[in-house]
Amino acid sequence: MDYLPLHFDLRDQHCLLVGGGQVALRKANLLISAGARLTVIAPQIDPAFLDKLSVGMHTIVCREFMTEDVKGQSLVVSATSDRVVNQHVSETCHEQGIPVNVVDNPDLCSVIFPAIIDRSPVVVSVSTGGQSPVLTSDLRRRIEALIPEGVVRLARYLGGRRQRLKTTFPDIDQRRRQTVWFLGSAGATAAMAGRDAQADQVLMEDAQPSLGEVYIVGAGPGDPDLLTLKALDLMQRCDVVLHDALIDRRVLDRVRRDADIIYVGKQAGAPSTAQDQINHQLVTLARAGKRVLRLKGGDPFVFGRGGEEMEALIESSIPFEIVPGITAASGCAAYAGIPLTHREYAQSVRFVTGHPKDGVVSLPWEEMVNDNQTLVFYMGLGGLENICEQMMAHGRDPDTPIALIANGTTEHQRVLIGSLTDIVDQVRHTEVGRPTLTIIGQVVSLAK
Ligand code: SAH
């Protein structure tokens, strides 16, 4: 993390603002709205400051900045257009360990101002680490659209009930579940509308089932932006996550901070967790009252063994939900520019898996040689040579193009394109990476 966001309590704290122009004035407004006691220092000060600072415990000093000015300040902001002054302010503060912000100059800052959505007590801060103020405010605008107006009342309502909630639900997990459930209920709507008595009836009532539940969720092929809204929502609500090797780190970063994260990956050549054991773990955790998120690469029902996990849950009468995800074939094809079907080139697409045994993949080859069918192989590269040989032996045109897509949709995506005759040779001379998806068919020629 480049910057740790903290929300600073500036009420009645001394803050120094160096600069007396329009930029400084904007910062003055912000600091005053946070309750700071402001000292403004500059040789020339915009008359607008006089109106702003005439009420309250603020001070205006009409002269150049001096080193001693930072003494006793909780925060210093330099908003001048003079590089030498900005530098001087920054160095003085760094030497004395006082947080300093120099407007529009992240290199001189120890703290930076985020873009904020102020629905106090709810405050959302957004930052791009000083990289792009325009991007920051664009993100802020988008987030703002997601936060309902009633959140102010809701936050105050919940703040006022904290103590009572603690007494009614002494167990922290139970209290959290109750509140999460409340937020999704009509009680929250009542609180937002100021109908507190009605909200209380819902919040304080122990309507929570003690049995947990399991969400079998597809996390998509890698790019975290390909998560569904539903997946993200459940990632924020769960108590524990069980995930495969295919789950990208950046996807896991979006799971609720205090959820337990358990790796149950199966990877060739590495220690793996048996499927039975995973099924058992899902059942045990749910019986202990947890909201369990089973996070799977791609789609859970496409070569994901989601079906087996579902059966285990049904057998044990555990409530569950399946959430689809973007499967590797869709994600990789889109990011590599290969349409899986095309009016002219392919009228059908077939998803295939098959694990090579001694290099030999056993599949119904005669069904797969039709030139108008795209084939997508979900498997490592172990069987590639055998697949190409079988396709040609069963009559598929040796010039049929083939694409290998490794780490599809992620920043490490690599695409290797060849034909049935030369791809194996290409792979011998290239480090392809994994996981890898193979697409065979005329549509591959469209990638370029
Ligand atoms: N349920 C998953 C597939 C699991 S099988 C889904 O719907 O996508 C595992 C295989 O999927 C891998 O061997 C590889 O062939 C493919 N795969 C999954 N993610 C991939 C990615 N990001 N890039 C390339 N191939 C991927």
Q: Mean pLDDT over residues 17-27, rounded?
A: 96
**Of 173, 168, 174, which Cα lies nearest the Cα of 205?**
168
Question: Would residue 425 show up in a list of annotated catalytic residues for this protein?
Answer: no
Going by pLDDT thresholds of 50, 70 and 90, the confidence category of residue 43 is very high
370 burial via Cβ count (<10 Å: 0-12, 13-18, 19+): middle
Lookup: tokens for 319: 């409530």
Q: Is 244 a catalytic residue?
A: yes
Cα 382–chain centre separation: 33
Chain mean pLDDT for the chain: 92
* Cβ 408 under 6 angstroms from ligand 1: yes
166 pLDDT above the threshold of 60: yes
Band of residue 219 on the pLDDT scale cut at 50, 70, 90: very high
Separation between Cα atoms, residue 438 and residue 448, nearest integer Å: 16
CA of 379 to the centre of ligand 1 (A): 7
pLDDT of residue 84: 96
Lowest-pLDDT range of 110-114, 204-208, 321-325, 329-333: 204-208
Cα(297) to ligand 1 centroid in Å equals 7
Considering the chain, what percentage of its residues have pLDDT values greater than 90? 76
Query: Is cis: bond before 435, omega within 30 of 0?
Result: yes
Q: Which atom of ligand 1 is nearest to the CA of 296?
A: 1
Alpha-carbon distance 440 to 19, whole Å?
65
List the strands of the sheet with 75-78, edge to edge.
59-61, 37-41, 14-18, 75-78, 100-102
Residue of 244, 290, 296, 299 marked catalytic? 244
Do residues 331 and 298 make contact, with C-beta atoms less than 8 angstroms apart?
yes
Query: Does the CB atom of residue 437 touch ligand 1 within 6 A?
Result: yes
Q: Can you list the alpha helix ranges (DSSP code H) found in 288-381?
A: 306-315, 328-336
Cα radius of gyration (the chain) = 30
| pLDDT tens figures, 128-154 | 998 898 999 999 999 988 887 889 999
Distance CA 153, CA 164 (A): 18
pLDDT in tens, 238-252: 889 999 998 989 999
Whether 270 has a pLDDT exceeding 70, the answer reads no
pLDDT at 111 > cutoff 60: yes
As a whole number of angstroms, the distance between CA 162 and CA 175 comes to 10
Encoded tokens for 359: 């290099």
Which whole number is the average pLDDT over 178-194?
Answer: 84
Round to whole Å and give the CA distance between 100 and 90. Answer: 6
Q: Mean pLDDT throughout 325-338?
A: 98
CB distance 299 to ligand 1 below 6 Å: yes
Nearest to 115 by CA among 95, 142, 153: 142
Distance CA 59, CA 313 (A): 67
In the numeric block, the tokens 């802020």 are attached to 140
Nearest-CA residue for ligand 1 atom 18 is 328
* Residue-level pLDDT at 207: 58
